[in-house]
Structure 1
Amino acid sequence: MVEQSIWMQKVAADPGHSQWYIDRFRSMARAGKDLAGEARLIDAMARRGARILDAGCGPGRVGGYLAAAGHDVVGVDVDPALIAAAEEDHPGPRWLVGDLAELDLPARGITEPFDIIVSAGNVMTFLAPSTRARVLSRLRAHLADEGRAVIGFGAGREYEHTDFLDHAAQAGLVPDLLLSTWDVRPFAEGADFLVAILRPA
């Protein structure tokens, strides 16, 4: 059995955690905050009408933007409450409850592969540590041979960037470009954030 994610451990400890997270982003959206920085980068990278997997989609802010921009989006998240919020706030994409460590979209009738897989919002740090390499392997299995995976997360969250890149290499993904922000600033050693644009080896 796959170890429970850190996110779902938080939900088990505090049943209101998911709703707090949903309300937080809804409040920021009402206040006019820019919540689409990650999605704009992905949109700029993608051909029109690209197939995009939002891995760890949460309440749908990235995938919702990309669908509105004309892309074919599937979003997957382990938390049913977040998927329900995505369906309510961002109708259009196909939103699915699922554990990324067991990702098997063909078994759920989803045509493969994806042109781009995006994982924003520190998703990698909310996975169970024992599943991180496995998740990257599952993402690679869903990625087109000419596709790219774009994964971003902050430092200081008990997942070193070097360990992540090692896990990516084990999964058959190599860096095309490493950035320190979603607004395309170069990555340097010691950066407090990593946006890794990866391609199949």
Structure 2
Amino acid sequence: MSERTPSRWEEITAADPGHSTWYVERFRAMEAKGQDIVGEARLVDAMLGRGGRVLDAGCGLGRLGGYLHDAGHDVVGVDVDPVLIGVAEEDHPGPTWLVGDLAELDLPSRGVAADFDVIVCAGNVMTFLAPSTRESVLAGFAAHLAPTGRVIVGFGADRGYEFPQFLADAAANGLRADLLLSTWDLRPFTDDSDFLVAVLSRAD
């Protein structure tokens, strides 16, 4: 069995054990100031009827999954960071929160059906993956979608994962790009956009 490749997030937290706590406090402070920290979740909610099944991939402290659960959806959140999962469980009871590596995603083996209506991967999660695992993550997303399900991924430019390469990797792993946006509030994507929100579906 090959040795597991740690994600960039794991490398960061290994070098700075206080990083996860800083990250949590950053978002709590933003929320306390009244800043919008769930814009991504509102877009996902608009894509679903009530009671949709949602996988929050790289869920962090549960800000999106918690909102979607409160909106009436069945939410499973997965993150590699146990500190963040602990905060999600504390702050947002209700969803199923799991510690796990997106590069080795196999939710049926953990008793969770792989038929999600939406998989959301926000917060630059794709850029925190080890580059060698990106295609495995995308293939895992495709494998966990319901036949008419959609994947929505958002991340910024100049973070080590070029947008054309991401779209090529998605296509090579069973995902078709249906819609490209430059923001979570539906502004169109152009060649000059510094952020990508890609809505993908299964290519088969």
Relative to the length of structure 2, the TM-score reads: 0.97
The whole-number CA distance in structure 2 between the counterparts of 1:101 and 1:76 is 11
| Aligned counterpart, 2:147 | 145
Q: Which runs of 5+ in 1 are unaligned?
A: none
SS in 2 for 1:181: coil
The one of 37, 51, 54 aligned to 1:52: 54
- Which portions of structure 1, spanning 4 or more consecutive aligned residues, are displaced by more than 4 angstroms? none
| Aligned counterpart, 1:10 | 12
| Aligned counterpart, 1:157 | 159
The whole-number CA distance in structure 2 between the counterparts of 1:145 and 1:126 is 28
Aligned partners of 1:53 and 1:116 also within 8 Å: yes
The one of 126, 132, 136 aligned to 1:134: 136
The whole-number CA distance in structure 2 between the counterparts of 1:61 and 1:13 is 25
Q: Which amino acid aligns with 2:199?
A: I
Count the aligned residue pairs.
201
SS in 1 for 2:34: coil
SS in 2 for 1:74: strand
> What percentage of aligned pairs have identical amino acids?
66
Aligned partners of 1:2 and 1:101 also within 8 Å: no
CA RMSD of aligned residues (A): 0.6
The whole-number CA distance in structure 1 between the counterparts of 2:169 and 2:113 is 26
The whole-number CA distance in structure 2 between the counterparts of 1:166 and 1:3 is 22
> Which aligned pairs between 1:37-186 and structure 2 lie closer than 5 A?
37-186=39-188
| Aligned counterpart, 1:28 | 30
Relative to the length of structure 1, the TM-score reads: 0.99
Q: Which runs of 5+ in 2 are unaligned?
A: none
